[in-house]
Structure 1
Amino acid sequence: MASPSPLKEEKVFKDPVHKYIYVQDETVWDLINTKEFQRLRRIRQLGTCFLTFHGAEHSRFSHSLGVYEITRKIISQFERNRYEDWPKEERLLCLCAALLHDVGHGPFSHSIEKTFGTNHENWSCRIVLEEDTEVNQVLRRVAPDFPERVAGVIAKTYHKEIVVSLVSSQLDADRMDYLLRDAYFTGVNYGTFDLERILRVMRPYRGHMVVKESGMHAVEDYLMSRYQMYWQVYFHPVTRSAEVVLHKVFQRAKQLYEEGYRFRFMVSPLLRLFRQELTVADYHMLDEALMQAVLMQWTFEEDGILADLSSRFLSRNLFKYVTLERMDASLVEALRTQMQQLGVDPAYYLEIDFPSDQSYDIYRPGEQDEKLPILLLDENDNLTEISRKSEIVRSISGIQMGKYHLYYPQELLLNHSQALQPSLRKLFDLE
């Protein structure tokens, strides 16, 4: 492998979260300037959250730089303290993987992924591995196998746990940046925690990333912040409503395509997505600017459902919701039946949503697919998983705050309230 080349002059990004982001390696600078990485400027970090928190317009580009910067700080601390358990030769690999971990995110990624069965990590790996991408060409200048190593870290298959831990674990640079950044741009205080303290107590130890036991309270604060952010921001029911409407848009468009519908407006990358033939070059074109232009054009489609759903999303005329303490299948089925009688397709205008912890990984040590846990290192050099020593972590791990939300078009029920069964009028407070 070629020796990493330092830049002749350090590059600096001004950042609202970390104050400054420092780029010292030529490879990292070249990666930032690839077209694939620059595309992340056109992908929002929080998807549809901007319809709930108007300041949430920040991009995957700024987040990816932030993850890189936290990773750089961690490694710099390891090198300053000359920790023997830190594999110095992996420095550039960690920095590149941190920078590129989200390069495969699509527009409104989770809604598109849900509809078309795509996965942003798989796309990140494809962008890293396919030889005709600018990212791959930069990485291959380091070593012929360097793209495979970077992809291995992103896919969490790399053979050195400590390298993967920096980018993907219960206490990783990715989570630390997005909590601070998302809290800043949404204007909430939930996501704040003492980053500098956590970085000071992190250690490489026998192939693991660990935390000094004296830093446990700083980590507890981080985990509590994460918990609050998920329930107050990421799982906000209005944001979920926007995701529901957007998912219904893509679901309807996909159904129409399969039925042979002739769209008044279509773009080739989206058409190949429908056909499951999307290439990396196509994927590069799929950004939020293109998708919002598509949604605008779809408001003029002859299909009334597609036109209405697209208009709802663009105009923020979202579905309203009622909260259900438990799932009542008979009540939901009655509502579906009545909607059909009113000429409204419940497949597109009714949704039951439960905010599962699909992104919030609570501690379940030993379970399949569990992210690498947080290990505490005591003064006797013993390692203990944090929930075994922290009552706070045990408490938030066991809390299930999720409730069912039933999403529906409010004006429909108001206009036809007298036609609804008494139990449904009571549910929607129409009596």
Structure 2
Amino acid sequence: MEYSKLKLSEEKVFKDPVHRYVHVRDRVIWDLIDTKEFQRLRRIRQLGTTYFTFHGAEHSRFNHSLGVYEIVRRIIDDDFHGRPEWNEDNRLLSLCAALLHDLGHGPFSHSFEKVFHLDHEEYTQKIIMGNTEVNKVLEKAGKDFPKRVAEVIAKTYEDKLVVSLISSQLDADRMDYLLRDAYFTGVSYGHFDIERLLRVIRPREDQAVFKYSGMHAVEDYIMSRYQMYWQVYFHPVTRSAEVILTKILHRAKELHADYYSFKQHPIHFYSLFEDEMTLDDYLKLDENIILYYFQMWQEEEDPILSDLCSRFMDRNLFQYAEFDPGRQFKIHSQLEKLFREAGLDPDYYLVVDSSSDLGYDFYRPGEEEERLPIYLLKQTGELRELSRESDIVDAISGKKRTDHKLYYPEDLIYSDSGNLEVKREIRSILESL
């Protein structure tokens, strides 16, 4: 029998706190889970620095990837199977893309990407197409199979319905991370009726749609997502930890460029610092490696690197104040000057961080970040865009919300050492914000 059609002699299951069980019958899926590139995801947290705020948020990209696979498996096997709009030949492709969609995430994911100008989706494709165990498994399923999986990740695959299952405004990826992140952070915001959504999902030529009778379940999902972003993902304490993490990496990169002699040489970072990173170098990086360096760099002679690493390891985070960079830019310039007079480098100790989200949007052709809308399927077969039918979704549709914070080391500003007059002036400005 062809490898792509091989089944395990008996079904394997992973016990899962969100879906109860993750079911595996396909040999390809089981072999992909066993690859070293997929196992690496156990060492990458799903929520980066969020564990500083919500202590339960220690779950990994491995957990989440299995969850996305399970949702797609249920959609295909329970809801799409036998329907004329669904091409059964795309079943294994969809399952593999769902399982591997986050394969290229680096340690502390988005913070890491920002500093080194990386794209995890590009690295996912590189892993799928490169000299890796994952590629070897996929190639056994067909010579062009790795390329097809990479195209789904890149959103260029010809069957847009397959792409929409893991990349749309209501996809398996978002369904899983909202439920999983809510579970592990302990909040109630991210819960929605996934069972109802899976009962009303239907295949169409370009994307998955939802029966009109399931509109309230879709509304529930949209509002859960909206709340999770502002109550969990953009939490100011989490962002404070991200700011410090980002500044540590910037400082290490700057010191390397200045030929600073590290006590603990950042050998795992050299190719990153010099923009010569290979896929093999990238795959050696995980959060255990990063935290090892942060632990050791607390002993460095450079006071900024040492201080920032100690702050991160000991959770001595920056304080924050509300800040409008457009309206208060003069205050920021004034604070930069005062920080320098106080002996604090504002590049590392005075940071404006902004977070923004578009909770839901309808399709706007030709505009940046085009989004396919969520469609409701009426009994007549007519498709209706969600915000045209739901007053709740219409209220947030197309509205981009942005939040700005100014981060600074409160302990250093309020200490009794250094130029106390300047520090008093800094405190006065910060307290007025």
TM-score range, shorter chain: over 0.9
Spell out, residue by residue over 1:373-395, the C-alpha distance to the aligned partner (whole angstroms, 9 max, x if none): 21111122112221122111121
- State the alpha-carbon separation in 2 of the partners of residues 346 and 326 from structure 1: 15
Structure 2 counterpart of 1:365: 363
Aligned partner of 2:57: which letter? A
Helix, strand or coil at the partner of 1:356: strand
Q: Which runs of 5+ in 1 are unaligned?
A: none
CA contact 1:352–1:407 (8 Å) conserved in 2: yes
- State the alpha-carbon separation in 2 of the partners of residues 401 and 417 from structure 1: 38
Helix, strand or coil at the partner of 2:78: helix
Spell out, residue by residue over 1:224-267, the C-alpha distance to the aligned partner (whole angstroms, 9 max, x if none): 00000000000000000000000000011111111221222124
Structure 2 counterpart of 1:198: 197
- State the alpha-carbon separation in 1 of the partners of residues 336 and 302 from structure 2: 21
1:207–1:355 distance in 2 versus 1, CA, 3 Å = closer
1:252–1:76 distance in 2 versus 1, CA, 3 Å = same
TM-score by length of 1: 0.95
Which has the higher mean CA deviation after the structures are superposed, 373-382 or 56-65?
A: 373-382
Helix, strand or coil at the partner of 2:203: strand
Aligned partner of 1:6: which letter? K
Describe how 1:12-411 pairs up with structure 2 within 5 A: 12-80=13-81, 82-130=82-130, 132-324=131-323, 327=326, 328-357=328-357, 362-366=360-364, 367-399=367-399, 401-411=401-411
Aligned partner of 1:419: which letter? V
Q: Which runs of 5+ in 2 are unaligned?
A: none
- State the alpha-carbon separation in 2 of the partners of residues 30 and 9 from structure 1: 14
Helix, strand or coil at the partner of 2:141: coil
1:417–1:188 distance in 2 versus 1, CA, 3 Å = farther
How much does 1:420 deviate? 4.8
Structure 2 counterpart of 1:414: 414
Aligned partner of 1:331: which letter? I
Aligned length: 426
- State the alpha-carbon separation in 2 of the partners of residues 330 and 208 from structure 1: 48
- State the alpha-carbon separation in 2 of the partners of residues 374 and 49 from structure 1: 29
Aligned partner of 2:431: which letter? D
- State the alpha-carbon separation in 1 of the partners of residues 171 and 133 from structure 2: 27
Which has the higher mean CA deviation after the structures are superposed, 408-417 or 64-73?
A: 408-417
1:220–1:417 distance in 2 versus 1, CA, 3 Å = farther
Structure 2 counterpart of 1:4: 5
Helix, strand or coil at the partner of 2:5: coil
1:353–1:417 distance in 2 versus 1, CA, 3 Å = farther
CA contact 1:361–1:371 (8 Å) conserved in 2: no
TM-score by length of 2: 0.95
Aligned partner of 1:25: which letter? D
1:430–1:385 distance in 2 versus 1, CA, 3 Å = closer
CA contact 1:269–1:278 (8 Å) conserved in 2: no
1:3–1:39 distance in 2 versus 1, CA, 3 Å = closer
Helix, strand or coil at the partner of 2:157: coil
CA contact 1:7–1:26 (8 Å) conserved in 2: yes
- State the alpha-carbon separation in 2 of the partners of residues 225 and 166 from structure 1: 19
